Amino acid sequence: MFWLLLSLCWLSLAAEPSPTGSCWKQVSPLLARRAHHSGAAIGNKIYVLGGMATQGKGYPNITLLDTVEYYDTTTDQWSSTTPFPMKIHHPNVAAVNGELYVVGALSVKPKPGNGTFLVENAYKLDFKTNTWKALSSMMAGTGRGASAVGVYGNVVYIAGGSQSVGKTAMDMVCTYDTVADKWTVLPAKLPEIRDHVGGAVIDDTFYVVAGRKGLQDLVQNSVYAMDLKAPEKKWVKLASMPTARGSLSVVAVGKKIYTFGGEGNPDNTSQGVFPQTEIYDVEKDSWIQDAPMRTPKHGAAAVAIDGTIYIAGGSASRDTRLDMNMTEIYKPTGGC
């Protein structure tokens, strides 16, 4: 354990130079450790909710979380707000027109014999009353967490996901219209089943990046795109990500998609997680690698505000034993 702590300390201090001029910086930590949560930006604040905490013990000794924290980027301070109505992990979270939505999640400890409770209702946080409001429920059989999520206008797109961690992934694609409070299943399924997957929308295209096919070792590097002006069309396969990863953090800035960390690293000294920072240019359909994360991790939330990417929480081990409250910023153009 002492060697492991020294290794993590070294990893957190050693920073490789960036070929793109980007930089990393550590900021105020979360109020509590968590992994397999999700986040979204509302104005100058970052909200994270749900997830797992293990207090250094790993599976099956996990605690599911209902807590919600927000980070004020102007004051470098985390605060608590109204908890979610139930304890959840792997939630699908989106910000739409200044409002925070949860559109599917998993609950109950993910271990054999315990079963999984699907959070099938959509929920919205009412900032005026500081209460969560239950909205329409997903259609029967479509509930899931650990999905790729993208926002296009008033509509949230949800691709793939899982109905029970470690079980079969899904290829289903759904939308939730936040104005009509209506769910729709789209005819164009993903070409492959996928969960613990990244999603991003740039202009009129929804991108689904990497992920798993159920089990932690079945990590993928394929990338698919949907034309949101013609969602009835089939998905288009794009250039593959250099490193196959699941449970990675994905966020879009400008015309690029940034991917961080993830699980599925076969290196015996890696704790099963990756430090990789890989960037996809949607105009060139090509990838580049940038300076890696200072601390390899998976299951972290990545959110962008004004071109700066904030990465909160996660775990430095694939079994979530080394969950953390670390918050880092990554600036694509430097200036940390």
What was the pLDDT predicted at 3? Answer: 33
Q: Report the candidate in 153, 98, 88, 154 with the shortest Cα–Cα distance to residue 125.
A: 98
In a domain, 336, yes or no: no
Alpha-carbon span 164 to 10, nearest angstrom: 35
Alpha-carbon span 251 to 201, nearest angstrom: 9
What was the pLDDT predicted at 62? Answer: 84
Question: Average pLDDT over the chain, rounded to whole?
Answer: 91
- Higher-scoring residue by pLDDT: 60, 245: 245
The residue-averaged pLDDT of 148-171 equals 93
- At 73, which amino acid appears? T
Is the pLDDT at 109 greater than 60? The verdict is no
**Number of domains into which the chain is organized:** 1
Task: Count CA atoms closer than 13 A to 196's CA, side-chain side.
Answer: 31
Structural element, H or E, at residue 299: none
Alpha-carbon span 23 to 328, nearest angstrom: 10
- CB–CB of 324/301 below 8 Å? no
Of the given ranges (98-112, 191-205, 293-307), which has the lowest mean pLDDT?
Answer: 98-112
What was the pLDDT predicted at 112? Answer: 54
Alpha-carbon span 245 to 278, nearest angstrom: 11
Residue recorded with tokens 């979360």: 30
Q: Assign 3-class secondary structure to 229-286.
A: CCCCCCCEEECCCCCCCECCEEEEECCEEEEECCECCCCCCCCCECCCEEEEECCCCE
Is the pLDDT at 270 greater than 90? The verdict is no
Dihedral over Cα of 17, 23, 27, 33: its sign: negative
pLDDT in tens, 285-309: 999 999 999 999 999 999 999 999 9
- At 324, which amino acid appears? M
- Higher-scoring residue by pLDDT: 56, 273: 273
Residue 1's pLDDT band (cuts 50, 70, 90)? very low
Residue 113's pLDDT band (cuts 50, 70, 90)? low
Residue 14's pLDDT band (cuts 50, 70, 90)? very low
- CATH number of domain containing 43: 2.120.10.80
Q: Report the candidate in 65, 79, 72, 87 with the shortest Cα–Cα distance to residue 31.
A: 79
In a domain, 73, yes or no: yes
Q: 177 is in which domain, residue-wise?
A: 29-331
In a domain, 269, yes or no: yes
The residue-averaged pLDDT of 113-136 equals 88
The alpha carbon of residue 288 and the mean position of all alpha carbons in its chain are separated, in whole angstroms, by: 21
User: Pseudo-torsion of CA 321, 104, 140, 232, nearest 10°?
Assistant: -120
In a domain, 24, yes or no: no
Q: Note the maximum CA span of the chain.
A: 55
Q: Report the candidate in 296, 242, 335, 334 with the shortest Cα–Cα distance to residue 19.
A: 334
Residue 235's pLDDT band (cuts 50, 70, 90)? very high
The residue-averaged pLDDT of 212-234 equals 93
What was the pLDDT predicted at 114? Answer: 58
In a domain, 144, yes or no: yes
In a domain, 163, yes or no: yes
What was the pLDDT predicted at 7? Answer: 37
In a domain, 15, yes or no: no
Residue 111's pLDDT band (cuts 50, 70, 90)? low
The residue-averaged pLDDT of 101-125 equals 81
pLDDT in tens, 50-104: 999 987 676 667 899 999 999 999 999 999 999 999 999 999 999 999 999 999 9
In a domain, 125, yes or no: yes
- Higher-scoring residue by pLDDT: 167, 79: 79
Is the pLDDT at 115 greater than 80? The verdict is no
pTM for the structure as a whole: 0.92
- Nearest 5°: CA angle at 215, between 176 and 299? 60
